[in-house]
Structure 1
Amino acid sequence: MKHPVWFKDYAKLEADAVELSYYSNHTVPGLFQTEAHARALYAMRKPLLDEDLIEQRVAARLARQVVLTKRPVPMVNCVIEEAVLRRPIGERDVHEEQLVELIRLGRLRNVELQVMPLDHPEHAGLGGPFILLTPTRRPQVGYLEVQNISRLITDPEEVRVLASRYGCIRSQALTPRKSSALIERLLKDQ
């Protein structure tokens, strides 16, 4: 698929976005990961990555996180499956630090963090993770990344379907307040 002329790379598109919407059912989205969590994820990849490449990728991931606080700040919506929050990536302290970071990020005025609880067996997100990005003065696009394969979705009808699905996902997930309370309970249960 040929990308639009204005698309350079995902990080650039993300940095220019006025709104970011994430649905994640396998991992914590990269913008929300702590350094230790990101390192643990890259270290467990198969086939194995060499140490230098792991450090490069961790540094790149952390550098992208400025998006959350740059001015003007984008609106960021994120729905994470409860199973992701229960899966301890890295050592116990890494997992606890990640949960604390999610609570902190969920308190930012421009971030709405929601959890899709395990007791919702049927919901609109069962087709897998995706991202919606609304760049400045450009049409909204979708982005899929699975098994190191990425796809930018620019077809208006495909983007409309993803946006509609995301609306359903958000309505089926816990509210931001209830989501924060759930993450706090998970943290206490560690």
Structure 2
Amino acid sequence: MDSAGSVSFFTNHHPALDDEEIEGRVVARMERQKLHTRRPAADIGFVLELHPLTRPTGGHQVCKEQLRHILDVAQLRNVQIQVMAPDRTTHAGLNGPFVLLETAERIRLAYVRTVADVQRMLRLLPDVPVDPVELESLLAVVATSWR
């Protein structure tokens, strides 16, 4: 998402954010996005829910740009994007967010609230990523539905 899309996203935040807070969050988001293309390359994976990708938060044009950005990032060799099927009855993120990290030494770390959350998360993560061609087709269908 570019800075204009980020501003639109944060402008719709509830409770409302002041201009300084919006600017700070946009700058932080843009800095995090540099991780996608840094050298040495970070191995990055995202698991996204389909439903938020279909909600035109910020307007249809902003969302089309965001979908294009997701597709661009998905083309990077070091990035894997998985989309959670909407008919799944459960998944690893239902109890809140989590972060998985792997160090340069291949040590795997997870930040969650409890050990049980780690066990549940590892059992429920989707094991087959959406193929980039499938992802592009899926997001193109979503974007064209906003005409």
TM-score higher than 0.5: yes
TM-score for the superposition, normalised by structure 2: 0.81
Corresponding residue SS for 1:104: helix
Which of 103, 111, 120 does residue 88 from structure 2 map onto?
Answer: 120
Q: State the shift of 1:91 in Å.
A: 1.7
The structure, 1 or 2, with the larger RCO (C-alpha pairs under 8 Å, 6+ apart) is: 1
Q: Which sections of structure 2, spanning at least 5 residues, go unmatched?
A: none
Matched, 1:110 2:78: yes
* Post-superposition offset of 1:59: 1.1
**Distance in 2 between residues matched to 1:131 and 1:41, nearest whole Å:** 22
Letter of the 2:139 partner, please give it.
I
Q: 1:161 and 2:129 equivalent?
A: no
Give the whole-Å Cα distance in 2 for the aligned partners of 1:44 and 1:88: 12
Aligned pair 1:51/2:19, yes or no?
A: yes
Counterparts of residues 1-190 of structure 1 (less than 5 Å): 33-137=1-105, 139-143=107-111, 157=115, 160-161=118-119, 164-165=122-123, 168-171=124-127, 174-190=130-146
TM-score (norm 1): 0.65
The structure that is strand-richer by fraction is 1
Distance in 1, matches of 2:28 and 2:103, equals 20
* Distance across 1 between alignment mates of 2:134 and 2:37: 24
* Residue-pair matches, total: 146
Give identity over the alignment, percent: 32
SS class of match (1:170): coil
Do 1:37 and 1:89's aligned partners in 2 also have CA atoms closer than 8 Å? Answer: no
Give the match's secondary structure for 2:14.
coil
Could you tell me how far 1:47 is from its partner in structure 2? 2.3
Q: What is the CA RMSD across the aligned residues, in angstroms?
A: 2.6
Specify the SS of the correspondent of 2:44. Answer: strand
